[in-house]
Structure 1
Amino acid sequence: MFMISYKRKRTHLKELENRESSRLEMIAHAMPFNIRLGKQNFVLGISVVFLVGFTLSLLERVKRNKTKVEQGRCWELNLLFQEKNLSGIIHFQKTDSEKEKIHMINNWKLQETEMRIMEHLLLAQECRWELNPIAVAQFRTQLQQCCNASFRFVTTKENIRLGSYIIFDGNPTRKLRVDTKLLDLLPEKSPFMDTSYRKCAVVGNGGILLNSSCGQEIDRADLVIRFNLPPMNFSEDIGTKTSLVTINPSILQNRFKLLQERRKPFVEALHSYSDATFLLPVLSFVGHNILGYRVLYTLEDFGVEQQAFFLNPQYLSNLANFWKKRGLKTNRLSSGFMLVSMALEFCQHITLYGFWPFSYDLNNQSIPHHYYDNMMPTPGVHAMPTEFSYYLSMYAEGVLRLRVGKCQ
């Protein structure tokens, strides 16, 4: 019995040895195949990485070449902008899509100059705008040397003297003697001395603002400038913030009956601009100074805490001469152009909204003259399309940004 059990154990051990030997042989035969397979996978992986990298490199090269072409095109277009070479746009190479858009605006019945401006705008839509700090600094220096908005933008006891004469910038042959009545209404010093802002929004009243969704972007600016007490119930498009707002004599005459009757409607209208400072160009024409006095008296009588200042006619006269030397021919600068010029002295980054002198937008849709009504301006007073061409020139130089479409 013992011998039988011993033989069985030896037989079992032999079977185990044979099985282990077979398994090791199988592993030995499989290893070269696995190694070869691993090498093949490694080579395949390297090849895939190479091909992907090569393809991406080609795409990047194509993209760079396309970008260079577009940059060259934009550079050429910007040069025409800067030189205000409106006729040069006729010979500018255009794509079929651009030709179709330009053909579209032929139906607008624009004057030749306005037509060239619109062609510039359409062609510039694909060009990326970038701030040019050097150009901004140059403009600031030139304007400070000629006009000095920090000291002269508003009329103060520091920049006029009792008994001296103010020359009306709108009636340069007429002048106003500075008496105690005027002097007592003026601040001691300019509130804009040593003022600077990082981001400024200059918000015109053009119909191009309708459905623009620019309100939030406007409200993010450090300084927001508006004109002629515009309606503020379009907050999604125009925002809610106001830092400075002009009040032209025509507004006092047409909306508030020269403040000769009830003055409460005027005071109530100011509530929409709770944190704003009011700017009054009432020393430009004979007789308008009386309107300025009434505004200041009204603010005092009704306990309005906001401040109002008279624009300095000497500053406005110097500013008009500055732009006249640069070829801007107009009977009188618009309030918008005056305040954009002021902002150029104070702001690092300026964006214009609602500046649009045309009856159609860039999608050929009819728009009102203002975002709140379609009342046309008095003809012959301002040269809005011409001023707009100067905005385009500054846009091309990277001095200011021009919003003429949707913000979101």
Structure 2
Amino acid sequence: WLVLTQRNTPANTSVRFAHSNYKTFYVPESLFRYQPKKMPFAAARYNQCSIVGNSGILVNSGCGHRINQADFVIRFNFPPVLTRFMKDSGIRTHLFTCNAGIIDTNMSRSQNDQPMEKLRLEENSPPVRPPLSRACTRLVSRLVRHVLHDSRYQHDSVRGVFLNHPEHRRKTTEFWARKGLVERSLSSGFYVISAALSFCDRVRVFGFWPFERDRRGRALRYHYGVRPRDQGPDNPWHRMDREFYKLVQLYAKGIIELVTKPCS
């Protein structure tokens, strides 16, 4: 179960957080009614997916065109898409994910500086789904109200706010632990790449690079659009270097395409 649905999580029940054996997340009726009745990806299968991270390696990469060619494009944490980075990061977005801290920060901005306005959400595409494994009801409800009741977002491409099922994240973490990747928490990027393999025939990964310099020795910003707010490579929750090594292994086996050089 990738996301909470009305079938797998009834109203007025609680689910365990992904990283806790005793803390739970309560699903009230007010939130339940916005969840899909069944699993949204049950019948979906995409030929090619672009998973777009926020690493500074995207700057001057010219990869925007290749990213846009995909059938399904996934981004993270309110990336600056409609900006000067379009030629490098692309413009299309079918799904973006964000964690509780990012939601809290961005939803607290003034009404004149809304981060979702920087995203181009594809018409007739699946809904916006921010997977949240540690968010509290207050933050989730706040995002639901913001997205679904703000007139600026009343178009077909924004049809729901879906919640990542904690059990799916827990099982994914356990799977990678058996493969030698032991972390307090998988990063959203690595987790989503893992999930995408279940509904994408070909997965192209852009903007994943945890190092201070690129392959040519060029100094990089940690994030291409903003200065890092998540402690960058010193984040105690994630080991980006270990995750990247696993991505390289997946690339070597032909499971994913890992783009770490300029596209043009």
Whether TM-score is above 0.5 comes out as yes
Query: Hey, what's the Cα distance between the residues in 2 that align with 1:182 and 1:367?
Result: 41
1:207-286 correspondence runs (5 A): 207-232=56-81, 233=83, 234-257=85-108, 262-263=110-111, 265-266=113-114, 269-270=116-117, 272-275=119-122, 277-282=127-132, 284-285=133-134
Give 1:16's aligned residue.
none
Q: In structure 2, what is the equivalent of residue 386 of structure 1?
A: 242
2:141 maps to which of 293, 299, 304: 293
2:7 & 2:199 partners in 1: Cα distance?
20
AA in 1 matched with 2:57: I
* Paired AA for residue 391 in structure 1: L
Does the Cα contact within 8 Å between 2:107 and 2:143 map onto a contact in 1? no
What are structure 2's unaligned runs of at least 5 residues?
Answer: none
User: Do 1:263 and 1:298's aligned partners in 2 also have CA atoms closer than 8 Å?
Assistant: no
The letter for the 1-side match of 2:39 is: S
**C-alpha distance in 2, partners of 1:173/1:271?**
38
Distance in 1 (alpha carbons) for counterparts of 2:48 and 2:213: 29
Q: Residue 246 of structure 1: CA displacement?
A: 1.0
Contact 1:280 1:292 in 2 (8 A): no
| Equivalent pairs, count | 251
1:373 offset after TM fit, Å?
2.9
* Alignment partners' CA distance in 2, 1:329 and 1:225: 25
1:272-351 mapped onto 2 (5 Å cutoff)? 272-275=119-122, 277-282=127-132, 284-285=133-134, 288-303=136-151, 304=153, 305=155, 306-307=158-159, 308-351=161-204
Q: Which amino acid aligns with 1:269?
A: M
Q: Is the 8 A contact 1:369 1:376 kept in 2?
A: no
Rg comparison, structure with higher value: 1
Q: From the superposition, tell whether residues 353 and 297 of structure 1 become closer, same or farther in structure 2 (CA, over 3 Å).
A: same
The Cα shift of 1:271 comes to: 5.5
| Counterpart for residue 369 of structure 1 | 222
> 1 or 2, which has the higher strand percentage?
2
Change (3 A) 1:274 1:387: same
Which stretch has the larger CA shift, 183-192 or 197-206? Answer: 183-192
How far off its partner does 1:269 sit? 2.7
**Paired letter, 1:274:** L
Aligned partner of 1:185: which letter? Answer: Y
1:250–1:216: structure 2 CA closer, same or farther, 3 Å change rule? same
Give the number of the structure with larger relative contact order, counting CA–CA contacts within 8 Å between residues 6 or more apart.
Answer: 2
When residues 365 and 264 of structure 1 are mapped into structure 2, their CA distance, relative to the original with a 3 A threshold, is closer
Distance 1:161 1:373 in 2: 39
Once the 2 structures are TM-superposed, how far is the Cα of residue 356 of structure 1 from its aligned partner?
Answer: 0.1
Is the contact made by 1:203 and 1:354 (CA closer than 8 Å) also made in structure 2? yes
What CA distance in whole angstroms lies between the structure 1 residues aligned with 2:219 and 2:227? 11
CA contact (8 A) 1:256 1:265 kept: no
Q: Which amino acid aligns with 2:17?
A: F
Q: Distance in 2 between matches of 1:159 and 1:372?
A: 37
Task: Check if 1:164 corresponds to 2:13.
Answer: yes
Distance 1:309 1:264, change over 3 A: farther
- Does the 8 A contact of 2:25 with 2:136 survive in 1? no
Aligned to 1:155: 4
Structure 1 CA distance, aligned partners of 2:14 and 2:116?
33
TM-score by length of 1: 0.58
Give, in whole Å, the separation in 2 of the partners of 1:376 and 1:163.
34
Instruction: Render the CA deviation track for 1:95-125: whole Å, top value 9, x for unaligned.
Output: xxxxxxxxxxxxxxxxxxxxxxxxxxxxxxx
Amino acid aligned to 1:281:
P
Q: Are residues 1:175 and 2:24 paired?
A: yes
User: What is the CA RMSD across the aligned residues, in angstroms?
Assistant: 1.9
Which one is further off, 313-322 or 199-208?
313-322
Equivalent residue of 1:389, what SS? helix
Instruction: Determine what percentage of the aligned residue pairs are the same residue.
Output: 31
Per-residue CA shift, 1:241-260, capped at 9, x if unaligned?
Answer: 11111122222222332x7x
Task: Tell me the amino acid that sits aligned with residue 226 of structure 2.
Answer: D
After TM superposition, the score normalised by the length of structure 2 is 0.88
Q: Judging changes above 3 Å, is the alpha-carbon distance between structure 1 residues 177 and 246 closer, same or farther for their aligned structure 2 residues?
A: closer
Instruction: Name the one with the larger helix percent.
Output: 1
Q: 1:148-191: CA deviations, max 9, x gaps?
A: xxxx1111101112343300113332113443233223121222
Runs of 5+ consecutive residues of structure 1 not aligned to the other structure: 1-151
